[in-house]
Amino acid sequence: MLANVKIEQDKQNEMIHRVFVNGEKLKIVNHIDLNIDVDEAPQVNVGIVGGCDFEGMADIHFDYSPYTVKEACKILRDELLKHGDLYKAFSASIYSALKDISEDTNIDEMPEIILSRIIGED
């Protein structure tokens, strides 16, 4: 959702920041993340303790946990696209899983076997 978002540093205590959405101060915020990508609208992820009512224009996302899967996936994808050590490790995990799969294994079971190998469950 688009909204006018303002992140303000306290003038007396520089360690304190406040978040305003369409001029209203959010009082239940436990963290904020500001992400500015080239050629995209800035994104503000706001971690809140409870519910929050507001309306307006800004690309604002509420994150109820301290970590975002979306950001982790973006980092993982960027690293894999470099075709470096992480890419080689994933490839080796897939290869070893395929090599260990017996010929009589049903094709429907193969994705789970490969995924289990990649994430270290087996």
Q: Tens digit of pLDDT per residue, the chain (122 long)?
A: 677 888 888 788 777 778 888 888 877 777 777 788 888 888 877 776 654 444 556 676 665 554 567 777 888 888 899 999 999 999 999 999 999 999 999 999 999 999 999 888 87
- How many angstroms from the chain centroid is the CA of residue 66? 10
What pLDDT score was predicted for residue 54?
45
120 touches 89 (CB < 8 A)? no
Report how far residue 3's alpha carbon sits from residue 44's, in angstroms, rounded to the nearest whole number: 10
